[in-house]
């Protein structure tokens, strides 16, 4: 079995950037405004788009393929992790246009969903399995959402823990292209979080979810939190992330939370956006490259779903096996 690599993460943000404080939802709820714009939470700017979600996806995919130097015609499968496609036959037209513009001439396309903002990370794990068992050589994972479709237009989301933005992100999972070795993946769902319960019960359920998810991830590929150079999470309020992730052993300085203020919560795309930005910082010399045993965790969280992907922090060269 070959080692799947996570290659060339890229993204496209909504073309407009506005201050979170100007959102009507926050102006109508001073308490939420105070909490979400406080330094402890850190939200400042959100992105929105007039474009269709597949337009954002196309721009991101074109960047991924160019950086990976893999022709679109060589991609075997595309996994679209989104809740924002039209709910009628027009989705087929929109996706066909994406494939044509990206040169994905022979790819099979599937949509993945029902895990909210954890869907893209579960899709990465699926792609790694397809590549690892030889069923595919190159699989493209594409995430993207518009608040108008994914959240019914709401910008205050995740139970009041985040401000939603419009964006798309993509990455290639490949058997041969240069990229980060994919070492493990885990997911967890807690259906009880859809039931009415007290805030304390909700908190305890979420703490238990995080503990179980990271226990499953370590069972697949043993590692310690101290081995992890950065956790690249969904962009929830910084204090919310610190609450859950400190409980499973991660220090504040390990959490990549800069984008919380810069772009808000881009739903399922956040971990790939955070990875793309981190790799750009490493390339520019702003972040030191990890050693041979360094790890990164991409972590996506939905209403009642969590998913995480463990990758090596140092890329494998083209064609090499780990």
Per-position DSSP letters for 16-77, written without gaps between them: EEEEGGG-HHHHT-HHHHHHHHSTTT---EEEE-SS-HHHHHHHHHHHHHHHHT--GGG--E
Report pTM.
0.97
Q: Which helix (H) or strand (E) holds 109?
A: strand 108-112
Residue 319: its pLDDT value, please?
A: 72
Residue 111: its pLDDT value, please?
A: 96
Residue 74: its pLDDT value, please?
A: 98
Residue 320: its pLDDT value, please?
A: 52
pLDDT along the chain (322 residues), means of 10: 91 98 96 96 98 97 98 98 94 96 96 95 98 97 97 95 98 97 95 80 93 96 95 98 98 97 98 98 85 89 96 86 47
- Which DSSP state fits 255? B
DSSP assignment string, 277-288: HHHHHHHHTSSP
Residue 322: its pLDDT value, please?
A: 45
Reduced DSSP (H G I as helix, E B as strand, rest coil) percent helix, strand, coil of the chain, to 5: 45, 25, 30
**Do 319 and 296 touch, CB atoms closer than 8 A?**
no
Residue 318: its pLDDT value, please?
A: 86
Residue entry with tokens 């108008």: 148
Residue entry with tokens 């390990």: 254
Residue 1: its pLDDT value, please?
A: 58
Residue 314: its pLDDT value, please?
A: 93
> 171 vs 86, 124, 163, 193, CA distance in Å?
23, 9, 24, 30
């Amino acid at each position: 079995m070959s080692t799947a690599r996570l290659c060339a993460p890229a993204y496209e943000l909504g073309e407009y950037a506005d201050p979170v404080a100007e959102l009507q939802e926050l102006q109508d709820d001073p308490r939420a405004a105070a909490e979400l714009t406080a330094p402890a939470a850190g939200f400042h700017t959100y992105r929105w788009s007039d474009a269709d979600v597949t337009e954002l996806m196309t721009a991101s995919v074109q960047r991924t393929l160019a950086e990976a130097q893999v022709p679109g015609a060589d991609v075997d499968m595309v996994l679209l992790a989104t809740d924002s496609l039209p709910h009628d036959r027009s989705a087929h037209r929109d996706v066909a246009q994406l494939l044509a513009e990206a040169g994905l001439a022979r790819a099979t396309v599937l949509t993945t969903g029902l895990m909210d903002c954890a869907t893209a990370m579960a899709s990465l794990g699926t792609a790694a399995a397809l590549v690892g068992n030889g069923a595919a050589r190159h699989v493209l994972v594409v995430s993207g959402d518009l608040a108008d479709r994914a959240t019914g237009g709401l910008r205050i989301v995740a139970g009041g823990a985040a401000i939603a933005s419009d964006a798309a992100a993509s990455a290639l999972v490949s058997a041969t292209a240069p990229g980060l070795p994919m070492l493990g993946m885990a997911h967890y769902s807690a259906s009880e979080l859809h039931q009415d319960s007290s805030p304390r019960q909700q908190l305890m359920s979420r703490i238990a979810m995080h503990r179980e998810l990271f226990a499953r991830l370590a069972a697949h590929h043993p590692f310690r939190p101290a081995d992890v150079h950065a956790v690249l999470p969904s962009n929830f309020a910084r204090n919310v992330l610190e609450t859950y992730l400190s409980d499973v052993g991660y220090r504040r300085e390990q959490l990549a939370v800069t984008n919380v203020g810069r772009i808000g919560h881009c739903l399922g795309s956040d971990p790939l956006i955070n990875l793309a930005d981190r790799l750009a910082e490493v390339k520019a010399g702003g972040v030191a490259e990890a050693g041979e045993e360094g790890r990164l965790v991409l972590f996506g969280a939905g209403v009642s779903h969590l998913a995480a992907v463990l990758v090596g922090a140092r890329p494998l060269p083209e064609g090499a096996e780990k």
